[in-house]
């Protein structure tokens, strides 16, 4: 398995979820061993993809420090993980990523437009060697050893449409596009009204999120998957794990985990040197299986 970047520069413009303003996003290739780098275009600030560079996790994953931070990067990073991108320059003309339709599928389409190219260097991966666990207020997030990437999530909401949902997802690029990428973020009408009163979620609409009142879904088209809510949580978790800068070979297990808990999990992993190993993909014991997973 080789490192990968995109073949050509691409750009897209969409609405910012919180600002409600048009946001331009450009993607450009980078040479080997560059990693994924965010550029806050208005200030020129360079932000490297590291768990310690995450400044906020309350409503989204935010990289950098205000006023030069970039919010809501998790959906984009989820697509980057799925497409096995190692080196990429991401320039954002605003303070947040465009929300697109509230899922990751538009970013997948943008990467398809850019094209993916193999580079002249072997890919490195993070292999989980020992279980790492974080807990907070009844929420749990775990990384534990597994021969392939697995994401196992459980949520429970006191809402007739959601209830308790569980999904154990054996990751592959192909299944990601079919089973995860189209799952949209969701929110409750009562919460949106409050957030907009404090100048947040100004771009939120039924065009980029699943909206719910106290009893039902507000979107006239309904759901894309019967368990779209837990699938979106897996989409988010994949994006949050990409903060490690490499694909993870292990099983992620979560009960009601949040961006905050995911960030704590990645930080704890990196601080526990005996819990993981960074190795060349070709040296992994099931290297050929990984090729199938990430191809």
Return the active site residues.
259
Distance (Å, rounded) from C-alpha 1 to C-alpha 286? 12
Helix (H, G, I), strand (E, B) or coil at 92: strand
Distance (Å, rounded) from C-alpha 26 to C-alpha 219? 30
Distance (Å, rounded) from C-alpha 118 to C-alpha 291? 13
List all residues 6 or more positions away from 267 whose beta carbon is below 8 Å from its beta carbon. Answer: 51, 52
Residue located via tokens 């207020």? 137
Tokens of 151: 């994401």
| H-type alpha helices, the chain | 74-82, 105-114, 173-179, 189-197, 228-241, 259-271, 287-294
Instruction: Provide Rg for the chain, Cα atoms.
Output: 18
Cis omega (within 30 of 0) for bond into 67: yes
């Amino acid at each position: 398995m080789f490192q990968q970047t995109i073949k050509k520069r691409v750009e897209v413009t969409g609405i910012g979820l919180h600002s409600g303003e048009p946001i331009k996003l450009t993607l450009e290739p980078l040479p080997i061993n560059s990693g994924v780098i965010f550029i806050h275009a208005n200030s020129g600030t360079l932000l490297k993809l590291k768990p310690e560079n995450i400044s906020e996790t309350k409503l989204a994953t935010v990289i950098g420090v205000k006023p030069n931070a970039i919010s809501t990067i998790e959906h984009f990073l989820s697509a980057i993980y799925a497409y096995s991108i190692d080196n990429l320059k991401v320039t954002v003309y605003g303070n947040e990523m465009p929300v697109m339709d509230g899922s990751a599928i538009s970013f997948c389409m943008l990467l398809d437009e850019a094209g993916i190219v193999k580079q002249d260097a072997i890919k490195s991966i993070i292999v989980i060697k020992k279980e790492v666990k974080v807990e907070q207020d009844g929420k749990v997030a775990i990384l534990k050893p597994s021969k392939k990437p697995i994401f196992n999530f459980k949520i429970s909401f006191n809402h007739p449409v959601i209830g308790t949902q569980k999904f154990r997802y054996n990751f592959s690029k192909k299944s990601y596009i079919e089973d995860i990428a189209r799952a949209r973020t969701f929110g409750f009408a009562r919460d949106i009204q409050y957030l907009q009163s404090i100048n947040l979620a100004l771009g939120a609409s039924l065009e980029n999120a699943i909206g719910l009142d106290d009893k039902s879904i507000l979107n006239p088209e309904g759901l894309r998957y019967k368990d779209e809510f837990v699938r979106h949580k897996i989409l988010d978790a994949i994006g949050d794990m990409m903060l490690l800068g490499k694909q993870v070979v292990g099983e992620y297990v979560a009960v009601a985990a949040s961006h905050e808990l995911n960030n704590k999990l990645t930080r704890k992993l990196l601080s526990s040197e005996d819990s993981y190993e960074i190795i060349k993909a070709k040296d992994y014991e099931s290297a050929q299986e990984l090729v199938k997973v990430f191809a």
